[in-house]
Amino acid sequence: MPEALVKGETHSSKKDKQALLNVDLSKYDAVFREGYDKDYFQRDIDSLYALFAIGHIVYGATYGRLYCSSDEFKQHAKQQGLPVHDRIDAAVYETYEMVSRWQRGGLFLLSPLFAGLMLGFIAQPAEWVLSRVAPGLLRELTFAGVVLTLLCFGFVWALAYFLLIEGRVMYDRDEAMAREVVQIAEANGYESILISCGGNHRHGIASYLRDEGWDVTEEPTDSLLGKLLNLLSIKRLRRRWAER
């Protein structure tokens, strides 16, 4: 029976990065890590897909900058003679196509409202602080703030659409990653593997492997913030509800 350790992580956590470096890799035949093909041009680019792709780029240029690099861990594994498979996730275009056309259209109609909320979460606190610290400056910056908001709205709209699509396919990505892991492991004869993935994907990947007859051990993120976010995640709440 093949074995797998599925290690959840918070991508921005240095504690999780160090925990991976501390894992004894001598018992594993290979390492698998969440990652994907970033080629945007593997499908025809229509208007909605272009919006999704721009949102993906904006996400990478903003929140994605907080992610800890996995290069050190992958190099560590390779130095111990282990193969590293770091593109087990669905490609960008595959993630987009996991959502049906009519659902993509519905999320497109919802995305401007979501974008407005995202801008409000940034603009309102800034306005509140300025109104108390420098009320005169706030009046001077009102017009500039309106112009800046209009200029940023297009990027935030794209980001909102991307996040809505990503949220919709979270379960599908779990299965896509697990299926890829099984195919690669069977093709290479791996009997014991380590899988490193985002904390929200841990349970879905582990469940799929168990259904395929694997002996699976799960380890959650070591990040306190990550544990809190996983506890409050909509995906986790939906899973608990379905298990009742």
How much is the pLDDT for 234? 52
Query: CATH says 3-93+172-243 is which class?
Result: alpha beta
How much is the pLDDT for 38? 85
The two structure tokens encoding residue 114: 């979501």
DSSP class per residue in 154-214: HHHHHHHHHHHHHHHTHHHHHHHHHHHHHHHHHHHT-SEEEEEEEHHHHHHHHHHHHHTT-
How much is the pLDDT for 142? 58
Once rounded to an integer, what is the mean pLDDT over residues 165-194?
A: 94
Pairing of strands 84-85, 215-219: unpaired
**Cα distances (Å, whole numbers) of residue 221 to 64, 203, 237:** 18, 12, 18
How much is the pLDDT for 127? 61
How much is the pLDDT for 124? 64
Residue 16 has pLDDT above 80, yes or no: yes
- Which three-class secondary structure state does DSSP give residue 50? helix
Once rounded to an integer, what is the mean pLDDT over residues 148-154?
A: 68
Percent of the chain with pLDDT over 70: 80
Phi–psi pair at 96, nearest 5 degrees? -60, -40
Once rounded to an integer, what is the mean pLDDT over residues 132-151?
A: 58
How much is the pLDDT for 119? 77
Q: Cα separation of 224 and 199, whole Å?
A: 12
C-alpha of 133 from chain center = 37
HSE (side-chain half, CA atoms, 13 Å) at 173: 27
Q: Cα separation of 61 and 31, whole Å?
A: 27
Name the pLDDT band for 75 (thresholds 50, 70, 90). very high
The two structure tokens encoding residue 91: 């490609």
How much is the pLDDT for 170? 84
Prediction pTM value: 0.83
DSSP 8-state symbol, 41:
T
pLDDT in tens, 34-64: 998 888 999 999 999 999 999 999 999 988 8
Of 221, 219, 202, give the one whose Cα is nearest residue 14. 221
HSE (side-chain half, CA atoms, 13 Å) at 64: 10
Instruction: Out of 18-22, 131-135, 188-192, give the one with best mean pLDDT.
Output: 188-192
Element (H, E) at 13: none
Once rounded to an integer, what is the mean pLDDT over residues 60-71?
A: 88
How much is the pLDDT for 131? 59
Tell me the average pLDDT of the chain.
85
Of 199, 231, 210, give the one whose Cα is nearest residue 16. 199
The two structure tokens encoding residue 159: 């980001």
How much is the pLDDT for 240? 54
How much is the pLDDT for 63? 85
Name the pLDDT band for 154 (thresholds 50, 70, 90). confident
Contact (CB, 8 A) for 20 and 196: yes
How much is the pLDDT for 86? 94
Q: Cα separation of 11 and 227, whole Å?
A: 12
Domain residues of the chain, as ranges?
3-93+172-243, 99-168
Choose the weakest-confidence range: 114-118, 157-161, 181-185.
Answer: 114-118
